[in-house]
Amino acid sequence: MRLDILAILIALAALFLVRGHNADGSKLVAGGAPEGHRLAEAWCKSCHAIQPQIAGMSDQAPPFAAIANRPGTTALSLKVFLKTSHQNMPNLVIAPDQAEALANYILSLRTMD
């Protein structure tokens, strides 16, 4: 009986943790882009152009719109990138929900072809 309750609790926890994403990881979460913009303003704009038509401070840091329009850029690829240390970027400690919000904001800059 106790194992049944544990199995039910695990199943319920899994339901709360699972989010619907496309197979390519590109689904945007409602409300994520505004939070991502706020985080980009705080953490990224000193180097990156975080909005179209606004220059960044560094020629070496790609604009967010260019990142969004690269072939193969998905929410999943951005979240993995944000959670990995890189030589030319500060090592920020980014929580999973923050990485998701930043990824959603960057993908919101994608232009339609």
Structure tokens at 108: 């919101």
Q: Over the stretch 19-53, which tens digit does the pLDDT of each residue have?
A: 434 333 444 444 488 999 999 999 998 889 999 87
Query: Tokens 């990824």 identify what position?
Result: 103
Condensed to tens digits (0 to 9), the pLDDT of residues 52-92 reads 877 666 678 899 999 999 999 999 999 999 988 877 888 88
> What pLDDT does 23 receive?
35
User: CA 39, 40, 42 angle in degrees (round to 5)?
Assistant: 65
Domains of the chain in start order, with CATH, are: 23-108 (1.10.760.10)
User: Rounded to whole angstroms, what are the CA distances from 12 to 1, 89, 96?
Assistant: 17, 38, 20
User: What are 8's two structure tokens?
Assistant: 């039910």
pTM of the model: 0.68
